[in-house]
Structure 1
Amino acid sequence: MIKAIITDIEGTTSSIDFVHDTLFPYAKQHMRRFLREQAGDDAVQHALDDVEAVVGQDLSIDEAADILEQWIDEDRKVTPLKTLQGMIWKIGYANGELQGHVYDDTPVALRRWHAAGYRLYVYSSGSVEAQKLIFGHTAHGDLTPLFSGYFDTRIGPKRETASYQAILREIGQPADAVLFLSDVGAELDAAHGAGLRTIQLLRDDKAVPSDAHAQAQDFNEILP
């Protein structure tokens, strides 16, 4: 019996286009100025230290900005980048320049599952803060109270089985009682390797179907 549902964001609850066409360009546009203005902030400095650790050398603010802007273009799943993007997006949401996108069926399903007693979690390569911002500022209202927890790359890469094993330890559920939803076959493979049940979302032609997993066009087809 399923007791918990873990969901990805891009291509699953929300449009990939929103992330790539709205959030990423916004972060890139504001990254350099943000670093210059906030370099004295401890959290920002810690993230910059992590960037230097990744590249293996000391960096000026502009050099760090160059690297971070390149990582945005490459969609690198690097924790300090995701952390800094989340900080920048927080300002954008607060200013009303950003609104989190979710598919229309997402809030309906999330509320139905929550009311039915399922524990809901998010696992995305975006930072936990960025996840909360997306779900906290939607056209359907604040969806964050529906979730019991959030996981990002600090728990591990999404295509490694060990990451899902770590999540299971965190949420205290047996693997066969947890359902993982994603559009990415490699992520589902990793979750399946940890014993989780899996469903692949095929919302648009960007998703590459994987015959190894059950499939759904949207959330209306899942635990109706």
Structure 2
Amino acid sequence: MTPRFRAAAVVLDIEGTTSATRHVTDVMYPYSRRRFAELLTERQDEPEVRAAVEQVRELLDEPEADARRVERALGEWLDEDRKVTPLKTLQGIIWTEAFARGDLTAHFYPDVVPALRRWHERGARLYVYSSGSVSAQRSWFGHAAEGDLRGLVSGFFDTRNAGPKTASASYRAIAAVTGVPPADTLFLSDRASELDAARDAGWLTGALVRPEEPHQPAGRTEHPAARSFTEIDLVLAEGTS
């Protein structure tokens, strides 16, 4: 498995692609779960918290849901690994502060950061598209064991500013922002449904098939596949500066 791509931009999924799902589920999720109650009660008047709580109430169809009910819903969505925007927003607030305090450090597979630095030096434009909020993504890339990686990234996208990751319209929206033609944009992810949506939008797609990750295709994937970033051969598209 050594897929070769000619692209000007690479858009990265995080969980299961650049970083271990287990770090998210075993470290990040429990950390946020322990702090939901405090956030919902002591900071309920902050605009971002208030807006997220209203979104939770709308999704529950319970306009009078109190903080305890909202907290229970967040916990249930965590258990189900639901990619729900208000959940990700509130997690992002908690994680951003935790990274700043040094309570958390982001995880990247050892093959990822050298590849990102190499691609960036060659002139490729790197973007991130994750279900986690943009603030959480920035904190993640800013607090890696390898240092602050935000300088490598040209932009961050989430379900609020782009849309659902399984909708092809989301990838068209991202391309409109980056200005990179879909045919010159490569999306790397471990999830077939996301890769299918990107391909439907005209993007190049690459599947990360890491043996330790839970969301691997049952059979042979339809997308060019690699077991690590080391196996990805990226050639810059003509006209890339």
> Could you say which TM-score interval applies, normalised by the shorter chain?
over 0.9
Normalising by structure 2, what TM-score?
0.90
Encode CA deviations 1:7-62: one digit per residue, 9 max, x unaligned. 10011000010111111111111111121111121111111111112112221111
Counterpart of 1:76?
82
Counterpart of 1:28?
33
Give the 3 Å change call, closer, same or farther, for CA 108–37 of structure 1 in structure 2.
same
- Offset of residue 223 of structure 1: 2.6
Q: Secondary structure at the match of 2:7?
A: coil
Encode CA deviations 1:39-88: one digit per residue, 9 max, x unaligned. 12111111111111211222111111111111111111111110000001
Counterpart of 1:217?
227
- Offset of residue 210 of structure 1: 4.5
Counterpart of 1:40?
45
Instruction: Give 1:66-215 correspondences, 5 Å limit.
Output: 66-154=72-160, 155-205=162-212, 206=214, 207-208=216-217, 210-215=220-225
1:59 is aligned to 2:65 = yes
Unaligned runs of 5+ in 1: none
Whole-Å Cα distance in 2 between the matches of residues 211 and 182 of structure 1? 12
Q: Secondary structure at the match of 1:150?
A: strand
Amino acid at match of 1:55: L
Amino acid at match of 1:69: G
Q: Secondary structure at the match of 1:180?
A: strand
Q: CA RMSD in A?
A: 1.2
Counterpart of 2:22?
17
Whole-Å Cα distance in 1 between the matches of residues 153 and 159 of structure 2? 18
Normalising by structure 1, what TM-score?
0.96
- Offset of residue 124 of structure 1: 0.6
- Offset of residue 135 of structure 1: 1.0
Amino acid at match of 1:198: T
Q: Secondary structure at the match of 1:179?
A: strand
Work out the number of aligned pairs and report it: 224
The percentage of counterpart residues that share the same residue type is 46
Q: Secondary structure at the match of 2:126?
A: strand
Whole-Å Cα distance in 1 between the matches of residues 182 and 134 of structure 2? 22
Larger RCO: 1 or 2 (CA < 8 Å, sep 6+): 2
Contact preservation (8 Å) 1:185, 1:210:
no
Whole-Å Cα distance in 1 between the matches of residues 133 and 233 of structure 2? 27
- Offset of residue 95 of structure 1: 2.2
